[in-house]
A and B are shown apart, each in its own frame.
Chain A
Amino acid sequence: MLFKLLRRKDTTVITIYLVLVILFIIPSLISPVFRTSRNFSNILHQAASLGIVSIGQTFIVLLSGLDLSVGSVMSLTTVLCASLMKNNPAAIFSTVLLCLAAGAGIGFLNGFLVSKVGISPLIATLGMMALIQGVALQIRPYPGGYVPRSFGEVITGNLYSVPVPAIILVLVIVAAIIILRKTVLGNYIYATGGSEENARLAGINIDLVKIFAYTICGLIAVVAGLVLTGRIRSGDPLVGTSFPLDSITAVIVGGTPFAGGQGGVEGTIAGALIIAMLSNMLNLLNVSSFYQYIVKGLILITAVVIYSLRRK
């Protein structure tokens, strides 16, 4: 893959991975706690749900859109799981299917509103965010409930000493890379994101492309929500609040420009890891969480400024 990247002269992805490696090495040298395997697995657990949802978000940003409803969808997933699975392992499968269907439905609606009705993605997904947040709060006004022990244990457990969330993350990445790089849909997404007008003139059904992308994003948000449910092992109607903006940050830091059409999930995943690792590092260094807001904002702005200078 590395050779392919070099041949494409797409140095953005390489740069972002270099930053990731540096961010990994420095705290490893400073902090003995950081370099414990326990902490690495902690970071992976933290990064998994953000990484997964950011991959869905990448599909949308590639189309020069954005999806603010992913956080509400994740919250909805946790409350649905906590309300429907309860203590009954037999209900796991049907609940997961229901959640996936709900996510796909919400994503489809987003796509429909953006493409067929013609509402700007910001407003459409903003309205959807409020709507789904309301539904989640209606189902469970306060955090609570629980999921079957086995569900939580499988999702937070290890398979051959690799954390399961990391495995799910890798599966989602691989699926996303295949869709984006090897299928017609992927080509259409890049083409539509690059120039809608040109894509339309080339005979691409851009409405359908958008609907597919938003549906995929909704589905992936549910997967992220399921991973989160496994970690908190209960339902929380507000657990997803920070994910829409964090996932957009991960996508942008990962080198997919807000204008769409270039970039991809390879960079996004590094972006998500950088965000998770930074907050882990700042926590270990006892930096007040107040500073973390500032750091997050500054990192995003730095990344965007560097990208915009490089593209000039």
Chain B
Amino acid sequence: MISLSQREIKDEAFLQGARFGDIIQRLGVYFALLLLVVISGVLSPPSVSPTHLLNVTRQASALGIVGMGQTFVIMTQGIDLSVGASLTLIEILTAGMILGRGEMVLPVVIFCLGVGAFIGLINGLGVAKLKLSPFVMTLCMMSVLTGVYLLYCGGSPRGKIPDALRFIGAGRIGNVFPAAIIVWVVVITVAFIVLRYTTFGRYVYSTGGSPRASYLSGVNVDLVIIIAYVISGFCSALAGVLLAGYIGTGSLTVGTGYELNSIAAVIMGGTTFSGGRGGVIGTVGGALVITILFSLLTMLGMPHSGKLMAQGIIIIGMVSLYAKRR
């Protein structure tokens, strides 16, 4: 396997004194979030009304859920580029298989979540067992999945989502609280508990920190990596089902940008590519920052080009702040 490089030893030593830096890094994204909300409030007071904030949070939930899975993968020094394509595939599958029949919701959703987990399983097997670079493995998966969903729908997705699923995607509980947020909160809670309070969670941290050391301490590193990718595939599928409920029909472009935005959310949230550090709470902040930023720029009437420039500058800027600690 991988030999213990000098960099890893340095990282280990670095980890000892990293607690304080970690906290700053984790809080940094929430500071940015607060700043964004204040700026939005100053520029346009209605944008900080509870209704609007809830709405933005609902918009962020799909990205947030994908980000949860991405967090697990990045913590194990991996990356999952296939999340956007698998989200689109699941969205199209859900709409195309349910076809408006209320009684089909449960079986189709279960099937689709299974497909998502299976995609993750293949990614995980490729990375852990075949030792392929995560970037290349998931890039291939992205390409293959794109072909699969185009073939499935022949280039024009169809389908209709019954009311039960539409409610979860787009409905509001008591006409106030978006149901999608509840799904997100459940995912966050589960991910948080898994990462913090279970043996598997500790294995994720240790595998990311040093695969070699974890292997030598008897951790089944391959299994940890495979499960991380399965979680990521499952989360993308869940986001796909949610978005199917929101849109109400199949869409070819629904997953565009999710791979890069979810990675950006994770990194902004303080999880590092070198693995072993970070957590889900930062990613939640990252997903909110990205969504609120886009919402703010839209409100300011900024064209797509301006949004892209702002996105680029903010990603580079925020990550530069963290990187200085190297």
* Smallest CB gap from A312: residue in B: B131
Q: Which among B5, B308, B309 has the highest number of chain A CB atoms within 10 Å?
A: B308
Contact of B148 among A197, A294, A301, A304 (CB under 8 A): A294
- Complex alpha-carbon distance, A135 and B312, angstroms: 11
Chain B residues with Cβ below 8 Å from A249 are 139
- Complex alpha-carbon distance, A122 and B77, angstroms: 13
- The binding surface of chain B is classed by DSSP as helix
- Interface hit among B51-59, B211-219, B238-246, B318-326: B318-326
A130 at interface by CB-CB < 8 Å: yes
Find residues 67-85 in chain B having any chain A CB closer than 8 Å to their own CB: 79
Complex contact A118–B130 (CB within 8 A): no
Chain B interface size, under 10 / 10 to 19 / 20 to 34 / 35 or more: 35 or more
Complex contact B315–A123 (CB within 8 A): yes
Complex contact A258–B133 (CB within 8 A): yes
Interface size on A, residues (CB 8 A): 48
- Interface hit among A43-51, A154-162, A177-185, A285-293: A285-293
Complex contact A290–B320 (CB within 8 A): no
A119 at interface by CB-CB < 8 Å: yes
Chain B residues with Cβ below 8 Å from A131 are 308-309, 311-313, 316
**0/1 interface trace, chain A 237-273, chain B, CB 8 Å (1 if under):** 0000000010011001000011100000000000000
A98 at interface by CB-CB < 8 Å: no
Number of contacts between A and B (CB, 8 Å)?
142
- Complex alpha-carbon distance, A136 and B150, angstroms: 29
Complex contact A197–B151 (CB within 8 A): no
Complex contact B147–A291 (CB within 8 A): yes
- Complex alpha-carbon distance, A135 and B305, angstroms: 6
Complex contact B309–A135 (CB within 8 A): yes
- The binding surface of chain A is classed by DSSP as helix
Complex contact A66–B135 (CB within 8 A): yes
Kindly list 19 other residue pairs between chains A and B, CB separation below 8 angstroms, not including A133-B308, A258-B133, A291-B151. A119-B319, A123-B263, A123-B267, A131-B308, A131-B309, A131-B313, A133-B305, A134-B304, A134-B305, A134-B306, A137-B303, A248-B139, A257-B133, A293-B143, A293-B144, A293-B146, A297-B139, A304-B133, A304-B136
14 pairs, CB–CB < 8 Å, chain A vs chain B:
A122-B79, A123-B267, A128-B312, A134-B304, A134-B307, A141-B304, A248-B139, A252-B136, A258-B136, A259-B133, A290-B147, A290-B155, A297-B139, A308-B131
Chain B residues in contact with chain A, CB under 8 A? 5-7, 79, 126, 130-133, 135-137, 139-144, 146-148, 150-151, 155, 260, 263-264, 267, 273, 303-313, 315-316, 319-320, 323-324, 326
